[in-house]
Amino acid sequence: MSARDIGIVYRKELLEALRDRRTLISTILVPILLFPILTVGVGYVVAGLIEEADREPARIMILGGTDSPSIITNLVKSKNLIVVSEPTNYVDLISNKKIRAAVEIPPGLQTGAGTDFAPVKIYMYSGDLKSTTAAKRIEDFFNEYRDNLARDRLTVQKLPASFLKPFVIKQQNVVSAEKVAGETVGGIITYLVIIMCLTGAMYPAMDLTAGEKERATMETILSSPISRTHLVLGKFLLVLTASLVTAALSVTSMGVSSWVIQHFQDQSSGSAMHIKIGLVAVLAVFLVALPLAVMFSAALLTIALFAKSYKEAQSYISPLMIVVVVPAIAAMLPGIELTPRLSLVPILNVSLLCKDLIAGNYHWNSIALIFLSTCLYGGAAIFIAVKMFHRESVLFRS
């Protein structure tokens, strides 16, 4: 009878959720569209801006260099640089984006070969894309000039080019593509799964508790023979479903978006960062995140039940986001490793474990400890939710 009752409540809540535009938007539409917009959309816009900055000739100013005419001549001739001569202060011009950069050529740069001289200084607007591009072009120009100068000197001295660079240094990745994925995108995926488990549960949790009070249907359902425990469990299962669906759709959508971006990068540049996330790793992440979603769903139901209206529930639940974001974001910070003590800290433990799982590191003791402790927290949260549904002061708060 009890499983039947829970099933009846669950099916009814599911039917209502599927007919609710707000639930469909928060559970299905947002996770599907968020990542294509964030990755493909924003990526496209950023790529466009970089391309425009690359294409557009940069206006620059030369300071000094009267005794280095050939350097100035070559600088003026160089592609994508327009040398302007303005009587006003170059700092103001750069600040107002009238010019993108200025280069100060120290006295005797052209003629004083072989002696120590002051550095070539490039003045720029830090953080401004077009200014950074202009500064890079100037730097490239002077790097090339310096290399040519060195080469000419070596030729005069009859020395080989390797005289200045007797050896090269090369970095080589020796770990698997899964481990690279764990370190690079593992934190983001983990963060995403945790946050989406929470946000997916938020709206249904409020709708099924405070929403019921607001619509005056709480008394209707309480007058039916179903026990309050079964009623809470039916509602809880719906919130959990929404939480997991949102998280699964988010990760799928992110995976597809990343694949599309990588596919196009491969085609355009011929090189790609080799990242591999196995399906088993993703499923393992979901398995570990499951008790966390249970905890979120039950906690949100409990908190929202205290509210008399949907609006009030929103104000109770919003601060919870900060409580979850901080430990969830920890997985993205470098240097934080999973320790036995951290294995017991809710959210943070799942966050760090998921990152490990994506990297292909299966430390079974940690997995068992974290899974069991999170199950315990989840069970406690359900217990509290059930208790709250039995409290008249909470159900009929006025």
Residue 12 binds to other proteins (criterion: CB under 8 A): yes
Integer Cα distance of 355 and 367 in angstroms: 12
Least distance in angstroms from the C-beta of 241 to other proteins = 17
Q: Choose, by CB under 8 A, the member of 19, 55, 79, 341 that binds other proteins.
A: 19
Name the segment binding other proteins (CB under 8 A); options: 56-64, 212-220, 257-265, 378-386: 212-220
Burial of 173 (0-12, 13-18, 19+ CB in 10 A): exposed
Q: How far is the CB of 275 from other proteins (least distance, A)?
A: 43
The answer to the question of residue 20 lying near other proteins (CB under 8 A) is: yes
Contacting range for other proteins; rule: CB under 8 A; set: 110-118, 184-192, 220-228, 369-377: 220-228
Q: Does 217 bind other proteins (CB under 8 A)?
A: yes
Q: What's the N-to-C CA distance of the chain in angstroms?
A: 33
Q: In angstroms, what is the minimal distance from the CB of 388 to other proteins?
A: 15
Residues facing 58 on adjacent strands: 81
Spell out a b/e string for 336-361, using b for 16 or more CB atoms within 10 Å of the CB, else e.
eebeeebbebbbbbbbbbbbbbbbbb
Angle subtended by helix axes 186-208 and 228-269, to nearest 10: 150
Residue 16 found at the interface with other proteins (CB under 8 A): yes
Strand, coil or helix: what is 63? strand
Output the CA angle 13-215-292, nearest 5 degrees.
45
Query: Which of these ranges, 115-123, 155-163, 193-201, 217-225, lies near other proteins under the rule CB under 8 A?
Result: 217-225
Residue 274 touching other proteins (CB under 8 A): no
Locus of tokens 């299905």: 28
134 with 60: CB under 8 angstroms?
A: yes
Nearer to other proteins, 200 or 211 (CB): 211
- Contacts with other proteins: how many residues (CB under 8 A)? 23
Nearer to other proteins, 263 or 397 (CB): 397
Q: Which helix (H) or strand (E) holds 230?
A: helix 228-269
Q: Kindly state the DSSP code that residue 234 receives in the 8-state scheme.
A: H
392 binds other proteins (CB under 8 A): yes
Q: Which of 80, 111, 184, 220 binds other proteins (CB under 8 A)?
A: 220
Of 195-203, 211-219, 263-271, 342-350, the segment contacting other proteins by CB under 8 A is 211-219
Q: Is 23 within 8 Å of 205 (Cβ atoms)?
A: no
Residues forming the site for other proteins (CB under 8 A): 1, 5, 8-9, 12, 15-16, 19-20, 215-217, 219-220, 222-227, 392-393, 396
